[in-house]
Amino acid sequence: MKVIIIIFITCLISIAGIIYFKPEYGSAFEADQQCHFEMSNLTLEAYKLGCDHDLETRQWILFNSEVSNKPAEILKRYRY
């Protein structure tokens, strides 16, 4: 009985991991387009927004760099 419970829990964790880490976009181009689209929609005078490509983690990052004396605030990640 314990073996069945351990197998069941392992399967649940595996499925949750696959769902969580599944890429949102099929390519870097799609992620780039979405990041810049949302940046243009969110642009306000109070924010200095930007999009940056992170090759190591295969994602585009939408960030606000207006926070003074602090690192940029990440608003959203676009995994591909």
Question: Taking every pair of C-alpha atoms in the chain, what is the biggest distance, in angstroms?
Answer: 61
Residue 54 is assigned to a structural domain of this protein: yes
Helix (H, G, I), strand (E, B) or coil at 69: coil
Q: Which domain holds residue 43?
A: 25-80
Looking at residue 69, what is its pLDDT? 81
Is 40 a member of any domain? Answer: yes
Q: Would residue 52 count as lying in a domain? A: yes
Summarize the confidence of residues 9-19 as an average pLDDT. 88
Q: How far apart are CA 63 and CA 73, in angstroms?
A: 6
Kindly state whether residue 4 falls inside one of the protein's structural domains. Answer: no
pLDDT of residue 10: 92
17 inside domain: no
The pLDDT score that the predictor gives to residue 44 is 67
| pLDDT tens figures, 25-55 | 989 999 999 999 999 888 666 678 999 999 9
How many structural domains are present in the chain? 1
* Domain-embedded: residue 76: yes
